[in-house]
Amino acid sequence: MTGAIQPVAIGFAVAAALCFAVANVVQQRVAAKLRSKAAFDSAVLLRLVRRPLWLAGFGLVIVSITLQATALGLGRLVVIEPVLASSLLFALALAAWADRRRMRLVEWLAALATFAGLVVFLVVARPSGGHATAGPLQLGIAVLAACAIAVVAGVLAVRMPSRRRALTLGVGGGIAAGATDAVTKSVAALAGSHQLGVFADPRLYLLVVVGLLTYTMQQNGYRSAGLAAFLPVFSVLDPAVGSMLGLFIYHEHLAGGPLRIIAEVAAVLAATWGIAELASSTAEAEPFTPVPADPDTPGTAQLPLVPARENAPVPVPPAAEEA
């Protein structure tokens, strides 16, 4: 790899991170306006797919994946993956801008701590070696465990306030996303070697199941609270769980040494503090009044979301005024 190609690869990675950040912000804002009687909507994807703006966000996800694949093909993994992780910072900054509020210093520090923890983990705890594919049984057990945790997270989240619900769904969704990464590795290798024969392999359908579950958890997390309450924990757990599955299922190995262990522990602590602080800041952000009618119901008007101010005057009915 020549030195001239590396900056081009970084450019593709930055573009991928920006596209993914915009997609997250767009889809979160659309999902947040989706009214449902259930705290967790299992059919959220079927409802969101009818929203043109949400579909535009999904298109940006596809563009981001394409740019990411190009960057990884041109550049070094140890350089490209931390750049891709910067999408977390871009998304939080864009969400604050879209909500017309400035991020406080402690929020920036928390975002940087989460980002730094993620980057250090990706760089230090990088697995190597191992097999190109894993067996259907091993992947099936991993997917079953991830799905069980995600379902439990969804059930627990139903009775929680919005901020804790977003955090809980972020945990379940992040674990499911890590399992999705593990299955994707095998499916990609099978598609390259077997081509159309991949459609006869059960691992493809494992990918469909866990992928849909991950996306369902993600969109429900977006419905629960602001982006800062859901995305950081999701973004950290995704590569962390994926790396652990790489060790146990693909028989990859990590470089040892006490310094690496210390760095990994520090990264986890920094990311944990950042996630908790960002989630707390979401609760302090200005709340929004809910839309009283479901926009999916014919004959109902969709009202815009407006800030709910604590000291706003309460309208008094004319009858009450006369009395």
Domain ranges of the chain: 5-284
- How far apart, in Å, are the Cα atoms of 98 and each of 22, 25, 209, 311? 11, 8, 33, 24
Predicted confidence pLDDT, tens digits, the chain (323 residues):
555 666 888 889 899 999 999 999 999 999 988 877 778 888 899 999 999 999 999 999 999 989 988 887 777 766 777 888 889 899 999 988 888 888 888 889 999 999 998 888 888 877 777 888 899 999 999 999 999 999 999 999 998 988 899 999 999 999 999 999 899 988 988 888 878 888 999 999 999 999 999 999 999 999 988 888 899 999 889 888 988 888 889 888 776 678 888 888 898 899 999 998 887 776 555 444 444 444 444 433 333 343 444 344 445 554 444 44
Q: What is the pLDDT of residue 31?
A: 92
What is the rounded distance in angstroms from the CA atom of residue 279 to the CA atom of residue 198?
41
Using the Cα atoms of residue 235, residue 94, residue 120 and residue 62 in order, give the sign of their dihedral: positive
Which residue shows structure tokens 């982006």?
227
Q: What is the pLDDT of residue 14?
A: 92
Q: What is the pLDDT of residue 281?
A: 73
What is the rounded distance in angstroms from the CA atom of residue 51 to the CA atom of residue 210?
23
Q: Give the predicted TM-score (pTM) of the model.
A: 0.79
Q: What is the pLDDT of residue 85?
A: 86
CA dihedral 202→205→210→211, nearest 10 degrees, is: 140
Q: What is the pLDDT of residue 122?
A: 81
Phi, psi of 50 (to 5 degrees): -90, 0
Using the Cα atoms of residue 104, residue 109, residue 110 and residue 116 in order, give the sign of their dihedral: positive
Q: What is the pLDDT of residue 172?
A: 96
Q: What is the pLDDT of residue 284?
A: 55
